[in-house]
Amino acid sequence: MQLYIGNKNYSSWSLRPWLLMTHAGIAFEEKKVRLGWEDDSPFKKTMLALAPSGRVPLLIDDGFAIWDSLAIAEYPGRALSRTSTSGRATPKQRARARSLCAEMHSGFAELRSTFGMNIEATPARDRRAHAAREAWRWHADLKRIDAMWHEALEASGGPFLFGALQHRRRLLRAGLHPRAHLRPAAGAARRRVRAPHARLAGFLEWEREALAEHDWIPEDEPYRTQA
Residues 64-103 that bind ligand GSH (CB under 6 A): 68-69
> Any idea what DSSP says for residue 68?
S
Residues 11-50, one symbol each (x = binds ligand GSH by CB under 6 A, - = not), give x-xx----------------------x-------------
Nearer to ligand GSH by Cβ, of 101 and 165: the residue is 101
CA separation (Å) from 26 to 20, 185, 220, 221? Answer: 9, 30, 31, 34
Q: Taking Cα atoms as reference points, which of 45, 101, 39 lies closest to residue 72?
A: 101
Q: Compute the least distance from the CB of residue 109 to ligand GSH, in Å.
A: 12
Of residues 4 and 162, the one with the C-beta less far from ligand GSH:
4
Nearest to 55 by CA among 11, 103, 96: 11
Stretch that binds ligand GSH, among 7-15, 22-30, 121-129, 138-146 (CB under 6 A): 7-15
The alpha carbon of 121 is separated from its chain's Cα centroid by a whole number of angstroms, namely 16
Q: Are 114 and 129 spatial neighbours (Cβ–Cβ below 8 Å)?
A: yes
**Interaction site with ligand GSH (CB under 6 A):** 6, 11, 13-14, 37, 54-57, 68-69
